[in-house]
Amino acid sequence: MAESIIQQKSFQFALEIIHLYIKLQEQREYVLSKQLLRSGTSIGANVEEASGGQSRKDFLAKMYIAYKEARETKYWLRLLQQSKLVNIDLTNELIYADEIIRILSSIVKTTEKSIG
């Protein structure tokens, strides 16, 4: 079965987060970078779990968790960007996070309507 758009995008985003984590570590940012790594890679993991869900409710629950992880990831990105703890422009990552949040939000809303 072919991967969905959200599977592709969340996987690609996780790869970008891993590369960003390495850059953050090089600039000696250890605390926020670890939080970012955990939430940023968790999005795709939950999307994958949702794809193998046992029911529509299970699918919805996992997609909602992915949505919450995406919002948390955006928070860490914003905090890193605005605190100026590191010298890295995070604009592209923030735009990508917003896109994933919008997609997941749409999936959650559509699924909630279909479940009733």
Summarised one tens digit per residue, pLDDT across range 51-90 is: 998 999 999 999 999 999 999 999 999 999 999 999 999 9
Domain CATH code at residue 73: 1.20.1440.60
Three-state SS letters, the chain: CCCCHHHHHHHHHHHHHHHHHHHHHHCCCCHHHHHHHHHHHHHHHHHHHHHCCCCHHHHHHHHHHHHHHHHHHHHHHHHHHHHCCCCCCCHHHHHHHHHHHHHHHHHHHHHHHHHC
Number of folded domains that form the chain: 1
Global pTM value:
0.95
> Residue 11: what pLDDT?
98
User: CA–CA distance from 10 to each of 13, 46, 54, 75 (Å)?
Assistant: 5, 10, 21, 17
Expressed as residue numbers, the domain containing 21 is: 5-115
pLDDT for residue 1: 62
CA terminus-to-terminus distance, the chain: 27
Q: What is the pLDDT of residue 53?
A: 83
